Amino acid sequence: MRYSEMFLPTVREVPSDAETVSHKLMIRAGMIRKLTSGIYSYLPLGYRVIRKVENIIREEMHNAGAQEVFLPMVQPAELWQESGRWVHYGKELLRFTDRHDREYCLGPTHEEVITDLVRHEVKSYRQLPVTLYQIQTKFRDEIRPRFGVMRCREFGMKDAYSFDATEEGAEINYEKMYAAYNRIFMRLGLKYRAVEADSGSIGGSYSHEFMVIASSGEDALVFCSACDYAANLEKAGAATGAPKPEKTEPVKILPRTEVHTPDIKTIEDVCAFLNVLPVQVVKTVIFNADGSPVVALVRGDEEINPIKLKNYLGCEVLELAKDDMIREVTGAPRGFAGAIGIKARMIEDYSLANMSNFVMGANREDYHLLNVNRGRDFEVSECADLRFVREGDTCIHCGSALKFARGIEVGHVFKLGTKYSQAMKAVYLDANGREQVMIMGCYGIGIGRTVAASIEQNHDDNGIIWPLPIAPYQVAIVPVNSDDARMAQAAEGLYQALSSRGFEVIMDDRNERAGVKFKDADLIGIPYRITIGPKNLAEGKVEIRERGSGAMNVLPLEQVVNFITGAVRKENE
Ligand code: ATP
Ligand code: MG
């Protein structure tokens, strides 16, 4: 395409709400423009990148046996009432009413619609398995849209759904999608990790998030420095790490004493007042699990991860207990809870393993206990991994040190089981004519977020550095002076030669200074820039510069097509 004819408004200034590199560069490179909060238009350059990403996803979905559909964005409330999500989804679900007072929502995801479609069409085990996907606009009324298209309200998503007759089948489909996702993110040239994510009540490791590693990422992830293990830290029901092994010298059990600790309630206050370290204190945290009190014990320097506890208990709702519940089980106000004599189910975290003679609340207002010991003073029958993992903990799979990183969640694969098919009665007849519930999986990729994540990983001070597979154009031809007839002619010749061979080329025919043209080519991140300047051209040569490495080659005009062909082929291998 000739630059002079392109709708490509590059700008120097960025709006003040652009915090991340990708947001700034997508605006500056003329890829996107904001319409209103969290709602963006893609301009031609941006949309070309979106299309490339979508096409790679399409190819891999096809290879994985998924068939493309296109489902409505407007969804009737009745389906969401059937699944129970009309009540549970919260304010991200944008609801509205039509002229007949019927209620609808804009789809933030499509489990209900796809389940409705499949339950009407699939009746027999012979029609299963089936995997369907679409690439379509979602709407989520995010409370704080930010980072441009990374966390916006209207966004494109590839969402796939699998339906299986058997557990084994569902697992095979999950593995297939997991493998397809690896191929997709590899082809997109991203540095990423597949991390175990919280799969809530479904359990096991049947949910993985695909995280692009980036310091600007909103998610914290933990990964092993040696093996493949990686997990989402915040949602990490799965993130497990044993505390560092400690010396277990035999210790003398000391007599327990009660000390007056007036108004001393937090771990910090207790440590300061009693002159002890947090590792010598046991924290007693009381939770309300579906209405019943549950007590979790953890070493004073550790924190309970409520998601781990929730998954361990298998409860629906878990929250910190309110004052009245605390008083009910401890007989004391908040701040003085301890294990001795407490009236509730109790679970200890592994961090208590080597502790003895520790400090603990006395279940009595303004009192703590010194030299408390398990066995002698109280018993706990349940022991589990409940705390937040820490950097340097040992990996449960291989024993190496765990590390932390920040990541951007670009994709998510999830084994749903029968959550929706049960609620919405998606059933089939098995070989014996018995009715069975279908087993589902769902698999999403955020298209715009993936593009933004790619920019987070591929840029420098001058702009974007597109990986070839998703570059909006592969080559930019820059005659340093478009008024010069010989330069213009050489540029035109190359433009025709490359375009006719299927390469995507921008020909910068603008009447701009060379510096302006170079800056724009760098900003929009075109992988190969061919510069046509007077000195080289006098010898029948041009310069080819690689955007990423900065590598330069001066070549005779007639070798340019071969060079680009070879470079693109190499990149695609
Ligand atoms: P997050 O935790 O970031 O809010 P999510 O877990 O709610 O995302 P999913 O329901 O798993 O997201 O959706 C699948 C994919 O859709 C995500 O992996 C992400 O790439 C993309 N996505 C989700 N929310 C947004 C958003 N607000 N803006 C852009 N992309 C999004
Ligand atoms: Mg997710």
Reported as a single tens digit per residue, the pLDDT across 28-86 is 999 999 999 999 999 999 999 999 999 999 999 999 999 999 999 999 999 999 999 99
Res 204: pLDDT: 57
Comparing C-alpha atoms, which of 19, 66, 111, 140 is closest to residue 452? 19
Please indicate whether residue 158, judged by its CB atom, sits closer than 6 Å to ligand 1.
no
Q: Where would I find the H helices in 227-322? A: 267-274, 306-313
Ligand 1 atom 21, closest CA? 446
Distance separating alpha carbons of residues 435 and 431, to the nearest angstrom: 10
Return the ligand 1 atom nearest residue 140 CA: 27
Instruction: Sort 260 into a burial class: Cβ within 10 Å, 0-12 / 13-18 / 19+.
Output: exposed
Question: What angle, 0 to 180 degrees and rounded to 10, lies between the N-to-C axes of helices 44-63 and 167-187?
Answer: 140
Residues of the chain with CATH 3.40.50.800: 473-572
Architecture per CATH, 473-572: 3-Layer(aba) Sandwich (3.40)
pTM of the model: 0.87
Return the ligand 1 atom nearest residue 108 CA: 10
- Both structure tokens of 281: 């204190």
Ligand 1 atom 28, closest CA? 151
| CB-CB contact of 402 with 220 (8 Å) | no
Ligand nearest to the Cα of 445, by number: 1
Q: For the chain, which residues score pLDDT lower than 70?
A: 199-205, 234-248, 573
Architecture per CATH, 257-384: Alpha-Beta Complex (3.90)
Task: List, for residues 165-181, the tens digit of each pLDDT value.
Answer: 999 999 999 999 999 99
- Both structure tokens of 418: 């029968």
Please indicate whether residue 361, judged by its CB atom, sits closer than 6 Å to ligand 1.
no
What three-state secondary structure class fits 41?
strand
Please indicate whether residue 234, judged by its CB atom, sits closer than 6 Å to ligand 1.
no
| CB-CB contact of 6 with 24 (8 Å) | no
Res 482: pLDDT: 85
Res 201: pLDDT: 55
The rounded Å distance from CA 221 to ligand 2 centre is 13
The rounded Å distance from CA 159 to ligand 1 centre is 11
Res 400: pLDDT: 87
Residues of the chain with CATH 3.30.930.10: 3-73+106-237+404-455
Res 248: pLDDT: 63
The rounded Å distance from CA 550 to ligand 2 centre is 37
Please indicate whether residue 112, judged by its CB atom, sits closer than 6 Å to ligand 1.
no
The rounded Å distance from CA 392 to ligand 2 centre is 26
Return the ligand 1 atom nearest residue 218 CA: 3
Instruction: For residue 501, count other CB atoms closer than 10 A to its CB.
Output: 12
**Domain 3-73+106-237+404-455 class, CATH top level:** alpha beta
Please indicate whether residue 411, judged by its CB atom, sits closer than 6 Å to ligand 1.
yes
The rounded Å distance from CA 12 to ligand 1 centre is 30
Ligand 1 atom 25, closest CA? 151
Ligand 1 atom 31, closest CA? 446
Compute the 3-state secondary structure of the chain and give helix, strand, coil in percent, each to the nearest 5: 30, 30, 40
Please indicate whether residue 108, judged by its CB atom, sits closer than 6 Å to ligand 1.
no
Ligand 1 atom 27, closest CA? 151
Distance separating alpha carbons of residues 508 and 303, to the nearest angstrom: 58
